[in-house]
Amino acid sequence: MSLLQPQSIHFSCPDKCHVCGDILRACDSAITHDGDVYSTNNGDTSYGGIGLHVECATILAMRLIADVVKHKGSEHEPRVATILLKACKTKLKDI
């Protein structure tokens, strides 16, 4: 993942924002992320990237965090919020 400043968007950067669908212009700041962008049950994957306006990346990050916080967890998959709380309490003991 990387932050691109205005006038530094490379030709390999996606030309549309993954969240809003608007064009990423050279005068915009943008976030890019490379990785597997398509995967199927039979194992086919494609490597590519997504681009986002900085504002759209913020919205996406908040939506992802909200989904993680809603996750109920189970015995085999504890809630992320519980794990983070334990980590914070452990760190506070060090201070």
Sketch the domain layout of the chain as residue ranges: 2-70
Radius of gyration of the chain (CA): 18
Residue 56 pLDDT: 95
Check pLDDT > 80 for residue 76.
no
Is the entire prediction scored with pTM above 0.85? Answer: no
Query: According to the model, what pLDDT value does residue 55 have?
Result: 95
What does each C-alpha distance from 76 to 42, 64, 68, 83 come to in angstroms? 26, 21, 16, 13
Q: In the predicted model, is pLDDT for residue 9 greater than 90? A: no
The confidence score (pLDDT) of residue 61 equals 93
Per-residue pLDDT tens digits for 25-37: 888 888 988 887 7
Edge-to-edge strand ranges of the sheet holding 30-39: 2-4, 30-39, 45-53
Question: Which single residue is written with the structure tokens 């669908």?
Answer: 21
Say which residues have a Cβ less than 8 Å from residue 71's Cβ, sequence separation at least 6: 79, 80
